[in-house]
Structure 1
């Protein structure tokens, strides 16, 4: 079985960081995007970046840049759909998504997703980690997504659906549970304080 294709989701508006490309923020001498790339690229057959606006600003990365086909910043699912359309053009069956602002996510993300999706006709898996208040916390920007469901996702987005887990639950989506020791690997940088915390964790 071929490895999935990988898509780094960088299509958000980064309002809490003052706007701009949050993935370009520097952490330990490398951008958040470079941290995400270093973790995801070895696990997938090919890698693309989902980002809106002028794609030329990412020319230095040497990655294909795919844009949302659903207008109006429709959230992570729009980036997932863009990734699924890109994968379909390449004849792939699955993609794995990761967020550009999450520099510590697991280096065994893909094999754990594939394991969790075993036996599913259309493997659909989200990452999760323990949460003391809610038992577990799902991370909707980290998932395994089947190309076979892209038209269903497109119809759902065009119908106004925006919540990732609402759509994955409709299709029997599963979870891959990761440990949060010594800290949650899906810690993401949303504020300047988060970036300072990431420096401490590095």
Structure 2
């Protein structure tokens, strides 16, 4: 299976951080975006950034910047769609998405996704971790915590996704379950690999992890 293209999702509003671009915050002397790029680059055939607003603020990263094509910040699925449309132009069959505020995601993310996707007509896989004692809104029926901004997505379903978004569907798992999406489970023995920076306290915690 050939390597997919990678799309870094940075299209959110960062309201819990007071607005602005979380991806440009620094941790350990590097921006979150730099750390995400360095981790993703060896795993994919090429990269782009999903972000809204003035693309020039990301010029230093030398990546294509893909705005949402669906208005109103409908959530990460809009970023996925932007990535799929870009990938279709490149002749690619799939993309992997990662979040721009999650700098410690697995270095074998893509390999695990592709392994789980074997045998699927349209490879569609979301990242998940075993749950602790707490329950979360993103918990699946199997008791796993899903991380829906981390996924393997098929270009072949981009028009179906566009139609779903235009109908008002925003929740990732509603769409993925419709298409028989699978879960790739990553362990948390050495901490949560999908720890993301949502608040100033999270930024301090990430600094300590570095």
Q: Which residue of 2 aligns with 1:65?
A: 65
What displacement does 1:136 show?
1.5
Give the secondary structure class of the aligned counterpart of 2:82. Answer: helix
TM-score, normalized by length of structure 2? 0.95
Task: Render the CA deviation track for 1:93-150: whole Å, top value 9, x for unaligned.
Answer: 0000000000100000000000000000000000001112453200000000000000
- Equivalent residue runs for 1:92-107 within 5 Å: 92-107=92-107
The separation in 1 between residues aligned to 2:59 and 2:206, in whole angstroms, is 26
- Equivalent residue runs for 1:36-115 within 5 Å: 36-115=36-115
Matched, 1:13 2:13: yes
Gaps of 5+ in 2: 136-142
Q: 2:165 aligns with which of 146, 157, 162?
A: 157
- Equivalent residue runs for 1:107-126 within 5 Å: 107-126=107-126
Give the secondary structure class of the aligned counterpart of 2:121. Answer: coil
The separation in 2 between residues aligned to 1:56 and 1:25, in whole angstroms, is 17
Give the secondary structure class of the aligned counterpart of 1:143. Answer: strand
| Aligned residue pair count | 202
- Equivalent residue runs for 1:178-197 within 5 Å: 178-197=186-205
Aligned Cα RMSD in Å? 0.7
What displacement does 1:200 show?
1.5
4+ runs deviating over 6 angstroms: none
Gaps of 5+ in 1: none
Deviates more, 1:98-107 or 1:130-139: 130-139
TM-score, normalized by length of structure 1? 0.98
What displacement does 1:201 show?
1.5
Task: Render the CA deviation track for 1:30-71: whole Å, top value 9, x for unaligned.
Answer: 000011101111100000000000111110100000110000
